[in-house]
Amino acid sequence: MTQETQYTEDNIRSLDWKEHIRMRPGMYIGKLGDGSSPDDGIYILVKEVLDNSIDEFVMGTGKTIEVSVQGNKVIVRDYGRGIPLGKVVDVVSKMNTGGKYDSRAFKKSVGLNGVGTKAVNALSTFFRVESTRDGKSASAEFEKGNLTNEETVEETTRRRGTKVSFIADDTIFKNYKYRPEYIVKLLKNYVYLNPGLTIVFNGEKYFSENGLKDLLEDNNNQEDMLYPIIHLRGDDIEVAITHSKTQYSEEYHSFVNGQNTTQGGTHLAAFREAFVKTIREFYGKNFEASDVRKSVISAISIKVMEPVFESQTKTKLGSTDMGGDLPTVRTYINDFVKTQLDNYLHKNTETAEKLQKKILQAEKERKELSGIRKLARDRAKKASLHNKKLRDCRIHFGDTKKENYLDTTLFITEGDSASGSITKSRNVNTQAVFSLKGKPLNSYGLTKKIVYENEEFNLLQSALNIEDGLEDLRYNNIVIATDADVDGMHIRLLLITFFLQFFPEVIKEGHLYILETPLFRVRNKKETIYCYSEEEKKNAIEKLRGKPEITRFKGLGEISPNEFVHFIGDDIRLEPVMLDKEMSIEQMLEFYMGKNTPNRQKFIINNLKVELDLVSTEE
């Protein structure tokens, strides 16, 4: 007979605000991560501090924001009104305290819950806030949310505004480092959405004159655009639209009150619907929605009074109303797009003709592929039933909470032994494994038809659920897990080619990674250190002293599941695959997978030399 668990007053525990945030950080900032993903917690911390400075600009004060990231220390300085000096401590350390509760002052603010900077404070080993206004300043310092020093109000000649400095806690964000590319993208989004704002990041200035039009131009190669960007602006809405000449699927950038809603929401759904409806009415033909939206690249930004998001990190809008006397989000967006886009197409006949040709071409291709798509889907369903290629995670069976989506990962690996090790050591709630059979096909220069004809590509597309775009992407992180040898490098390149050729938005939106696995294991009787480079190996040997045992891992398949759990758990190291802004996707594909040229040979030699040397010296 099992003993009954006691439930008394001693079991009841009240957490203060700091303890609750530190114990359940995911409730406040989403996933933790090490900085390899754009939605990792350390960037959410930066964003939470920046949001307050942005709101000051929106209120008409502080046209410049200065951001500095040196190592792990972040400094954000604005020239807004400054926090009221008597409330400097309260604003960053007392829940439900802040100016945004006064809706008269912040009708369309980024955030209304007053949690942001408190979360940053609680999750930092060092946090300092300094406010200057009316020729006086006050400051306070904290450690993990605990006040360590408070400077009383004193006279100053500094310009007004607020300065926040913090160092994220490395016991919560393990092995983290900031990647400048992600910081820059975050800051660029702020300037696109706030004309007149200048953000200075580590000495470099960012500003935008044309809003979302600049966003599309900066994120896409000019030569790949089918027609000049359609740029439409209203009181609480802005839209930018074009179509790609080469891209197959849809690409969207959506924002609410300056917040990048990476998972879309009611506003994006309304825009996609309104776009198709307007196009049908303009051309007087009931086109298939998928044909109208095929290859579309667009951005939408709206402002809503007191928006409701589906999570604390505000990545998906749940609001159905614009607020005040305005209609629903759906009606507001539909009316705007119907009027403005229709007017634009009537005035710009050349763009209208190009768009119509694109839709008719998409219709023709869809009909040509319809038969093979049906067969391919049937094959994918049968394969999933027999579980031949994909070992899925529980989140897709309703066994775990949907808010864990940010942690979902699909490992793409090659060979039974490697996929077996990952499968046995993974987190079954959020991590899935897709097993390749040998090297994938080189898809360079091939048409979308091959995705359905090739079993590997068809099943991978089905596993990711990206046939019609990223809206229902099943895994937030797609991780290529191959050996760090010549064959492994080749498989990586072939998989990257597949995504570049058919689903470049997977890379553009920061979903594709390379799994870093250790090259060496250095251990003695007391300690084991896994090393990812020669330098780490040397440091480990010095640390353990004596003559530790050194093992060179030649392949993923020989790493036991008991060891593999270290490399895909809390200490996982991921290297994001990023696009080179200086080259178009066509140019990149030609460079990496086209004819052999002296430039390509030089690149391969320079970039693979280290790996090749490691293999040759150890074997």
Class of domain 387-517+555-618: alpha beta
Identify whether the C-beta of residue 207 lies closer than 8 Å to the C-beta of residue 199.
yes
Identify whether the C-beta of residue 225 lies closer than 8 Å to the C-beta of residue 218.
no
Sign of CA dihedral 381, 385, 389, 394: positive
Q: Where are the domains of the chain?
A: 17-206, 212-366, 387-517+555-618, 518-552
Which amino acid appears at position 409 of this protein?
T
Which secondary-structure segment (H or E) carries 332? helix 329-347
Blockwise average pLDDT, block size 10, the chain, 619 residues = 49 66 86 89 94 89 96 96 90 67 50 71 96 94 95 90 96 92 95 95 96 93 91 95 89 90 90 97 96 95 85 74 81 96 98 97 90 79 66 79 78 87 92 90 88 90 87 91 84 91 89 91 91 92 90 84 86 86 73 71 56 32
Identify whether the C-beta of residue 477 lies closer than 8 Å to the C-beta of residue 408.
yes
Q: Which two tokens stand for residue 304?
A: 């809503």
Give the β-pairing of 296-302 and 230-233. Answer: unpaired
Q: Which pLDDT belongs to residue 149?
A: 94
Angle between helices 598-618 and 585-593 (to 10 degrees): 60
Architecture of domain 212-366: 2-Layer Sandwich (3.30)
Whose structure tokens read 């030649």?
A: 554
List alpha helices for 387-473, DSSP H: 416-425, 449-453, 455-464
List alpha helices for 14-125, DSSP H: 17-23, 26-29, 41-58, 88-93, 116-122
Q: Which pLDDT belongs to residue 11?
A: 46
- Residue 101 is classified by DSSP as G
Q: Which pLDDT belongs to residue 103?
A: 46
Identify whether the C-beta of residue 451 lies closer than 8 Å to the C-beta of residue 524.
no
The pTM for the full model equals: 0.84
Which amino acid appears at position 154 of this protein?
E
Give the CATH H-level superfamily of domain 17-206. Answer: Histidine kinase-like ATPase, C-terminal domain (3.30.565.10)
Q: Which pLDDT belongs to residue 230?
A: 98
Identify whether the C-beta of residue 524 lies closer than 8 Å to the C-beta of residue 544.
yes
C-beta contacts of 356-360 below 8 A and 24+ residues apart: 356/283, 358/226, 358/243, 358/294, 358/295, 359/279, 359/283, 359/287, 359/291, 359/292, 359/294
Q: What residues have CB less than 8 Å from 40, skipping those under 6 apart?
A: 31, 32, 33, 34, 173, 176
Q: What residues have CB less than 8 Å from 297, skipping those under 6 apart?
A: 216, 220, 225, 241, 242, 243, 244, 247, 251
For 347, other C-beta atoms within 10 Å of its C-beta total 9
- Residue 98 is classified by DSSP as S
Q: Which pLDDT belongs to residue 307?
A: 81
Q: What residues have CB less than 8 Å from 616, skipping those under 6 apart?
A: none
Q: Which pLDDT belongs to residue 39?
A: 87
Q: Which pLDDT belongs to residue 457?
A: 92
d(CA 436, CA 5): 48
Q: 3-class SS at 222?
A: helix
Cα–Cα separations (whole angstroms), residue 321 to 138, 266, 313: 40, 10, 20
